[in-house]
Chains A and B, each alone.
Chain A
Amino acid sequence: MTYSYYPGCTLKTKAKDLDRYARASAAALGIELEELPDWQCCGGVYPMAKDEIATKLSSVRALLSAKEQGRDLVTMCSACHNVLKQVNHDMATDENIVTKVANYMKLDEPYRGETKVIHFLELLRDGVGFDELKKHVVKPLKGVKIAPYYGCLLLRPGKVMAFDDPENPAIMENFIKALGAEPVAYAMRNECCGGYATMENRVIAEKRATAVMDNAAANGAQMMITACPLCLYNLTKNAQGGVPVKYFTEVLAEALGVKEEA
């Protein structure tokens, strides 16, 4: 099955690993991720204001391009996913934005959020299926205690993201189990690491990230996994604690036996 793929700017630069391991894993699972021919950075945070149009256009262009290809749009970075999905929701529900965008882009037919945006984890759960994924695992991560770190952007706002139960998610835990590892239960898996504060006030980022990592470590985590380059940076650079943090695609590629060739 072929999907349109939106890698995002960070995956082309500092987070190349997130992308590289995803592509290798997808290939091993028989999934074709075809990068959109022409995409722009989504801007990293969803513009919440009702009268913001220009800041939503790069997302709309990506969504529209997937619509033209008649495919679902796969995202990898939590932030891209949040921005694209929330903008898509606006396009499906806010007539004012739909009209303004259509006028601005001179669209013959307005874009109304027809594209389905799916995060790669959702593709693994709903497209591939975790039982099927398990069958492809050649190097089970036996006995490794992995703390799933959701952060905020995959889950919230729950009504729009519809990723999983925002207060009691299970997708990353089930992903970890499918790879043969052991998910660590800890309360702060869906509390913010303070990543956005890193440029404004590093002390805040340090405090929040340390609280999250402490909580994971106290519950026996040997490793944390994330889908967000900013979480990874913040937990690695700003948190005190030293628990290794990896992209979920890296452990996936490892379990599928394609890490070395990625």
Chain B
Amino acid sequence: MEKTNLKERILEISGVNPRKCMKCGKCSGTCPNYDEMEYHPHQFVSMVEKGDIEPLMKTESLWTCLSCFACVERCPRSVEPAKLIEAVRLAVIRQQGANHLKPQDIPDKLDEDLPQQAIVSAFRKYTK
């Protein structure tokens, strides 16, 4: 997709307005998974705003974000960075053949105590 189109699409499906961001960094400061993410929530906000979306579509951070809503709750400007991360994730997995989780990978990840919730959530987050 063309750069501006992709940006428009991400903004539309996320419902986020990155221009509200005042670059305080609180979202990334509070992110429990900061150390494991290549791009942090504040970077998703600023890079989407610049239309710099290709690197975000390739980053592992899409899969390591915990969807914990901490960045949503604690942003003083109600920017809701997690919604942008979800929108970029969807832009990736909605493409044909781009599912991140393949059914054949599941058996290896199961153990007898793993709750169904973990499996259905993983499918919802990682596949379309």
Query: Do the beta carbons of A158 and B116 come within 8 Å of each other?
Result: no
Q: Contact at A77–B117, with CB atoms within 8 Å? A: yes
Tell me the chain A residues, 37-63 only, with Cβ under 8 Å from chain B: 41, 43-45, 47-51, 55
A163 part of interface (Cβ distance < 8 Å): no
- For chain B, the count of residues having a C-beta within 8 Å of the partner chain is 37
Query: In this complex, what residue of A is CB-closest to B114?
Result: A233
Partner of B70, one of A55, A156, A196: A156
Q: Which of A18-43 contact B (CB under 8 A)?
A: 41, 43
Task: Say what secondary structure dominates the interface of chain B.
Answer: helix
User: Which A residues form the contact surface with B (CB < 8 A)?
Assistant: 8-10, 13-15, 41, 43-45, 47-51, 55, 77, 79, 152, 155-158, 166-167, 191-192, 194-201, 204, 208, 228-230, 232-233, 236-237
SS of A interface (majority):
loop
Measured in the bound complex, the distance between the Cα atoms of B118 and A237 in whole Å is 13
Does any Cβ of A come within 8 Å of B83's Cβ?
A: yes
What 11 new A-B contacts, CB under 8 Å, besides A14-B114, A152-B70, A204-B36?
Answer: A9-B116, A10-B115, A10-B116, A48-B82, A156-B68, A192-B32, A192-B66, A196-B66, A197-B66, A199-B122, A233-B113
**How far, in whole Å, are A49 and B124 apart by their CA atoms in the complex?**
12
* Cα–Cα distance between A204 and B126 once the two chains are bound (Å): 17
CB nearest to A152 among chain B residues: B68
26 residue pairs A–B, Cβ–Cβ below 8 Å: A8-B117, A10-B115, A10-B117, A15-B115, A43-B120, A43-B124, A44-B124, A45-B124, A48-B82, A49-B86, A50-B15, A156-B69, A192-B66, A192-B68, A195-B66, A196-B66, A197-B64, A198-B118, A199-B118, A200-B63, A200-B126, A204-B33, A228-B117, A229-B115, A230-B117, A237-B113
Cα separation A195 to B101 with both chains bound (whole Å): 17
The residues of A that contact B122 with a CB separation of less than 8 Å are 196, 199-200
